[in-house]
Amino acid sequence: MADRLVCRDCHRVQSAEIESQCEACGGTALTEDWAGYVVIAHPERSDIAEEMEVTEPGKYALKVR
């Protein structure tokens, strides 16, 4: 997924068209160097979201370098 960037702060996956800051947290540390992702639809009911400290629905990278 070379057309995707990931925020190093919140791990949110987003379109590479938005290169200046994260659309979720506003962080500016975006990278193309990441692996795997999970889609979280209901963070309030998800054990994975709790472990990742995710509070908003969306796509999140599992590993960010």
In contact, 41 and 16? CB cutoff 8 Å: no
Binding positions: 7, 10, 22, 25
Beta strands at 58-64 and 34-40: parallel, antiparallel or unpaired: antiparallel
Binding positions for Zn(2+): 7, 10, 22, 25
Beta strands at 13-15 and 4-7: parallel, antiparallel or unpaired: antiparallel
